[in-house]
A and B are shown apart, each in its own frame.
Chain A
Amino acid sequence: MIPEHHVIGLSAILFAIGVLGVLVRRNFIGLVLSIALTFNASNLAFVGFNRFWPGDEAKLHWDGQVFVAVVIAVAAAQVVMGLSVLFSMFRNRNGVDIDEAGA
């Protein structure tokens, strides 16, 4: 069987990779995908904790999975906004370099 702390550890490592990617990336697409990695890490932790405390037959717990459904919807909205910002950036500046966009 899978130990619980391995699930949470995988989630923590994925979160660390995502945050470091946000710090390192300068290209817009890499940045948005790195943020999506951190969302995915939190989803993994939510599902893992929900599986760890599933409740009993009388009262099952669904809180973690409900959280994940909401997070997926919010992250989809974030990606859509990122895409439209990417389009306007590309049209007005002819490039998607983040550091130049701030200057």
Chain B
Amino acid sequence: MDVTAIVFYTMGALIVIAGLGVSFASRDSLVTCLNFLVVMLSTGVIFLLLDAPMIAVLQILVWSGVTGLAMVFAVMLVGRDNRTFRPAGIRLTKIAGGLLVVIVLAEWLRFTADTRSSLPPVPPGYGDSGGLGVALYTDYLLVVELVSLLLLATLVSALVLVDRKAGR
């Protein structure tokens, strides 16, 4: 077992434990946010192990930096009480969600049955941020422009929603 595997399994265990903390720890919203930060930072480390340094930087900047801190700010605004869970009745959404979970786990079992190999060796040039940038601005230029339009629309609509005078 080499260092890569040890780091991977440590980070995987951290992700699962902190993910359970995000979804099911009921006491305090702030604890939920901190668990979320742990999940995102550990996922960034796993991205580094998978030779995607640019994605790891994006992950840590956007998820932990922006989203995590914005959520901590929201907790400061609305209070830390997080004890309410949904009532235990069976509804259509719960059936659909449970079905989704079962389908995803079954897909994983099928993938495991088909593919039991380690990751292939890295070809030279893979993991350079430059290659990803060239791909983004040649083959995927339309997608990048659409995403920038989406972000602009989000900015404007968030301002309209929050502004007291412009709203209803």
Contact = CB atoms under 8 A, between A and B. Distances in A.
A54 to B, nearest CB: 5
A49 B19 CA distance: 22
A16 B20 CA distance: 10
Nearest to A7: B50
A10 B12 contact: yes
A1 B4 contact: yes
A63 to B, nearest CB: 8
A66 B19 contact: no
Interface residues of B, number: 85
A53 to B, nearest CB: 8
Contacts of A24: 23-24, 85-86
B136 A69 contact: yes
A68 B55 contact: yes
A10 B16 contact: yes
A52 B120 CA distance: 6
Question: In this complex, which of B4, B15, B164 has the most chain A Cβ atoms within 10 angstroms of its Cβ?
Answer: B15
A25 B147 CA distance: 29
Interface residues of A, number: 74
B154 A81 contact: yes
Interface in A1-41: 1-10, 12-30, 32-34, 36-37, 40
A80 B77 contact: no
A95 B124 CA distance: 54
A11 to B, nearest CB: 8
Interface of B: 2, 4-5, 8, 12, 15-16, 19-20, 22-24, 29, 32-33, 36, 39-40, 43, 46-47, 49-52, 54-55, 58-59, 62-63, 66-67, 70-71, 74-75, 77-78, 82, 84-86, 93-94, 97-98, 100-101, 104-105, 107-108, 111-112, 115-120, 122-126, 131-132, 135-136, 139-140, 143-144, 147, 150-151, 154-155, 157-158, 161-162, 164, 167
